Chain A
Amino acid sequence: MNEVYRYFLIFLGALLVYNILLIRFIALCPLIGVSTQVETSIGMAMSVLFVMTMSTAASWVAWNYVLTPLHVGQFLYIPVFILIIASLVQFTEMVIKKTSPPLYRAMGIYLPLITTNCAVLAAATEAVKPGFLKLNVVYNFSLPEALIYTIGVAAGFGLVIVLFACIRERLETAPIPHSFRGAPIAFIIAALMSLAFMGFANLLGL
């Protein structure tokens, strides 16, 4: 298979076919929590993209150069990845607070939220641990593949959360029965969007 086409398939698989929010239902808390305004959802999506890519790169190095040579990866991967993600987010927060106050104001409030976000851990684990993900174009990720996969996951997260926020902004003025306002109608919308995304199943043989 052509190398570029393979990368494209990995990206597409992460973006649509195995969409992290609507197909695998990971990280539903930000989907409901930070999707009331398009502006905040874009901020959250950008922060997730940034943190996810960085933490996957670090996790990939830790897995291939520390955990695998010592044969401890199979049971130690979760604590190690959590450690890496939390430390990196903390480090990033300090760096951008010092170097770029405007970026800190835009992203700063989302960074602590992302520290414990399950989507980041899921993306890192899937892109690093061989066989964890049932994506049939790739079994053992190389570093570029892992990064492309992660960017796909983050883009899928961003796509869905921004679409969701657009719908919720319209819902503000819609005549919804009182008991359905807020979270209940949000869950119904999420379910309908999930049904729509399930239509991508088996796209290009993924």
Chain B
Amino acid sequence: MDISLIWKAVIALGGIALLFGILLAIASVRFRVKTDPRLNDLIDALPGSNCGACGFPGCEAAAQAVLDGKAGVDVCIAGGKNAAAGIAEVMGVAATSATRGVALVHCQGGINETATRAIYQGIDSCAAMDKTAGGSKACPYGCLGLGTCRDACPVNAIYLDEDHRRCVKRERCTGCGLCVEACPRGLIEIVPRDQEVLAVCKSRDRGKAAREICSVCCIACKKCEKACESDAIHVVDNYAVIDYDKCTQCGKCIEACPTDVIVKVPTSSDRAAVGSSS
């Protein structure tokens, strides 16, 4: 082997490397994009689950929006107080905490409570089941129980209990609202976290018809309306709706309700689907 080959190899590789090195050095100066050093700190302060509840595509976009002044320190709904405090620290302003809601599934009907009228064997998704002749459940308004909301949840806060009811782990739920969009029946709502008295049925059927197919349905008897002292609960479209601004959480409607549709969370009774955390 010719020893000069080594020199040639060194020159060839070294020369090309030097050429590209210079090219990259020039490019890094000429094509520099000024990024705010605070951007990375902001991204660290956000939860990073990219849920999109803030209305920006992902946490990085939200951080950029905060820098641009398009969003305040309370931009992150999911991160709540911690994220707001982190962002406030980076931006050097006082924290105003975001109100952080929690998801509520407006149905307690599992396989033991609600009648089944068919057996469904199609695509494993609530939307598909809903389109297929209204699904297997006798109640046309209730939870289908296949778990599209569970799959949509970025923090695994929704799970299926042994009776095929959707339950929310309140301490995990960030209130991002992705499950609200996922549910084909519109049963999920983000409610204030400190609201503990909740009405959980959205059946528009009249009392008798609803009662025949489900043991935990609102029968629109209006007993809760009469029991309420602060005019906070009303029957609309044949189901009870609580006005969370007026509700004092006295619990009188819970005692009045004959079908256990109004519940207080967290409950000790395992009958109540909402708020059970295990």
Residues of A with Cβ closer than 8 Å to B? 62, 66-67, 70-72, 75-76, 79-80, 83-84, 87, 90-91, 94-95, 97-99, 173, 175
Contacts and interface: CB of A to CB of B under 8 A. Distances in A.
B12 A94 contact: no
Nearest to A87: B20
A79 B13 contact: yes
Contact of A66 (B16, B23, B30, B124): B16
Secondary structure of the A side of the interface? helix
B13 A70 contact: no
B130 to A, nearest CB: 15
B128 A173 contact: yes
Contacts of A62: 16
Contacts of B27: 91, 94-95
Contacts, number: 55
Nearest to A76: B9
A66 B31 CA distance: 28
A98 B33 contact: yes
A80 B12 contact: yes
B119 interface: no
B266 interface: no
B24 A80 contact: no
Contacts of B125: 173
Contacts of B28: 94
A67 B13 CA distance: 9
A173 B31 CA distance: 45
Contact of A70 (B8, B20, B124, B128): B8
Nearest to B125: A173
29 contacts: A62-B16, A66-B12, A66-B15, A66-B16, A71-B5, A72-B8, A72-B9, A76-B13, A79-B13, A80-B12, A80-B13, A80-B16, A83-B13, A83-B17, A87-B20, A87-B23, A87-B24, A90-B24, A91-B20, A91-B27, A94-B24, A94-B27, A94-B28, A95-B31, A97-B31, A99-B31, A173-B123, A173-B125, A173-B128
